Amino acid sequence: MRILLAILSCLAILCSPALAYPVKFANEGDVPEELKDTIVDRLPEEPDAESELHARRQARRATKIVTGVLNAYGYFDPVITRAVDGEGAAAEPYLNIDPGPQFVIAELRIRYQGDFEPLPDIQESTRNTLGLQPGQPAVAAEVIDQERQIGAKLREAGYPYASVTSRDVIGDKDAKTISVRYNVQSGPRVVLGQFIYPDGLRTKDKYLQKINPMETGQIFDPSDMALYNSRLAETRMFDSSLAKLADEPSGVTEDGAQIRDVRMLIDERDRYTLTLGAGYDTSEGFGVDAELLRRNLIGMGDLLIGQARVAEREFGLDLVWRRPNELGYGKGVTYFASAFDERTDAFDQQTAKIGAGVEVIKGPQFQYGYGADARYIRQTGATVRRDFQTVSLNGSASIDKSDSVLDPRKGWRASGRLKPTYARSGGAPDIVYGRAVLEGRYYQPFSKEGRIVAAGRARLGTLIGANVSAVPGEDRFFAGGGGSVRGYGFQAIGPFDADDVPQGGASLAELSVEGRYRINGTFGAVAFIDAGNVSDETYPTFGNLRVGAGVGVRYMTPAGPIRLDIATPLNPSDRDEVVQVYISIGQAF
């Protein structure tokens, strides 16, 4: 007997709201437990029956729903009888359910229609890779899912316009089987032609081709096209960008495949972006930052970034030229130079630096880099001035498994940096030393919406190969302040000399725990405890930790949260203030 299965209707029933219903299973028959649960969940909520007639109506409605659920799971010949238990207002409907045997797949066929037909080997591989095979249960959702699999397989084989136009389903009630035939239009197989770029682009074709995973002459691959579009978006050079096949073919290959060019639809972003920022904390005072970004200086997707900072303790300029994908996709080169004048409790220092590095991005979650720099440092202490000339190598790596760059609520991050340095200073002996820092962060939500989050951070650092006093001040370790141990002033944790001047240390240990509560879409609140220690020991120690605690407010913006933290030291020294206030952009960690 020919049966056209209403598979889509069955799926609609499965997706209906799950509600309670006053229907009893008087005879459950062979209904599997998981199917019984599904039937109960899909029955709609109704009030108690007011009469026997009302109860019969409820039973009829329930029968239609139960039949649809059974059909969707391959039970196409169920026997469901309705009955009413009780009289008058006490009447209750119930069903006797015998699902019968579950139908199985007898045959799956693909019939190609239209002017084009895939190559024989592609037809065979498409049929063999279907997830549903003869002998398996005839579950409606899986029967329909084969359409997605057929289309995906053909597109992967170079048929970008492939689609399943319809399906024919034949049921055999006696054999308890169904046979399915999918009617498919494959469309032409496509070979890529030329890549057509818009006229007047500042971005050079050479750069766009460098990040292109496709080549002229290759068989169309949807994953390559998607990858190229993703890479175009990652450049952040464009307001919009899209690579797509041309609407009409430009030729035909010897084996009959169509040649189609790839057209680029690109709208470039403005060349300049100016960003301003400011911050404040009790010990460091006010600071203002400005950043001017210039896109496509030489048309190779490059970024020239100038950053200026003016603050009570420092001022200076930092210039960075980033040339992403310079050495191939995901391998960029960075050139940088800076000049800063910094005045701290530990020392006054003027620094000029120049260097270059390579950044390797292996994906959104992992990257590493290496490079070199040279510095000239003039450091003035209370009684002595020293000039340093240094040459450093550096290597770094980071893993980001968190869910957000600006405001993470789940996951973790880890990073490490190693910097060996050769330094000379006037008449003092030349020295070679290494500086290493490891940091880990963890974020754990405690509510389904992510409104309550516990965040933790640990940072460890060590300086090996030279005495701390022989090392430039900026390579020593200091702790305290808004990005370190809140509750303490900048550089307020660590060794001091007899005149109460911070000396810095050879090792660092910092720990932080923060509870974050999102009040609404605009405001959040935090409570935190930070602890840290700077020591003359070569490796980090956890004795004599300075501990601070406090609360804060977050104001959410598209550029990240603006934070205000108020903290107090829990085990202060005589030099520590009772309260420290910090205002900045971004979460503390």
Other CB atoms within 10 Å distance of the CB of residue 281: 21
198 falls within a domain = yes
The answer to whether residue 2 is domain-embedded is no
Please tell me whether residues 65 and 201 are part of one structural domain.
Answer: no
Three-state DSSP state, 559: coil
Range of the domain at 242: 190-268
Tell me, yes or no, whether 264 and 276 share the same domain.
Answer: no
528 and 490 both lie in a single domain:
yes
Q: Of the residues 268, 295, 315, which one is the last residue of a structural domain?
A: 268
The reply to whether 298 and 394 lie within a common domain is yes
Domains identified in the chain, total number: 4
d(CA 31, CA 29): 6
Asked, for residue 370, whether it belongs to a domain, the answer is: yes
Among 40-54, 196-210, 311-325, 555-569, whose mean pLDDT is lowest? 40-54
> Residues of 23-55 as b/e, b for ≥16 C-beta within 10 angstroms?
beeeebeebeeebeebbbebbeebeebeebebb
Classify residue 560: in a domain, yes or no: yes
416 and 302 within one domain: yes
pLDDT in tens, 61-101: 888 888 999 899 999 988 888 888 777 777 888 788 888 88
Cβ-Cβ contacts under 8 Å for 127 (sequence gap 6 or more): 108, 110
The answer to the question of residue 346 being in a domain is: yes
For the chain, the average pLDDT equals 89
Same domain, 82 and 217: no
Provide the pairing of β-strand 104-112 with 177-185: parallel
**527 in a structural domain:** yes
Tens of pLDDT, residues 100-128: 889 999 999 999 999 999 999 999 999 88
Paired sense of beta strands 92-98 and 24-27, if any: parallel
My answer on whether 279 and 263 are in the same domain is: no
pLDDT tens per residue across span 197-228: 999 899 999 999 999 999 999 999 999 999 99
- The answer to whether residues 360 and 495 belong to one domain is yes
Beta strands in 385-451 (DSSP E): 385-400, 411-425, 428-445
Closest residue by Cα to residue 516 from 447, 438, 581, 414 = 447
How does pLDDT run across 399-457, given as a tens digit for each residue?
999 998 888 999 999 999 999 999 999 878 999 999 999 999 999 999 878 899 999 99
136 in the same domain as 40 = no
For residue 1, tell me if it sits in a domain: no
Q: Which of 216, 240, 268 is the last residue of a domain?
A: 268
Residues constituting the chain:
589
Residue 32 has pLDDT above 90, yes or no: no
210 plus 293 within the same structural domain: no
Task: Verify that 338 and 224 share a domain, yes or no.
Answer: no
In a domain, 115, yes or no: yes
- Is there a single domain that holds both residue 43 and residue 181? no
Last residue of a domain, one of 185, 203, 227: 185
CATH number of the structural domain spanning residue 239: 3.10.20.310
Global pTM value: 0.75
Amino acid at 148: R
Residues in contact with 227: Cβ distance below 8 Å, sequence separation at least 6, in sequence order: 213
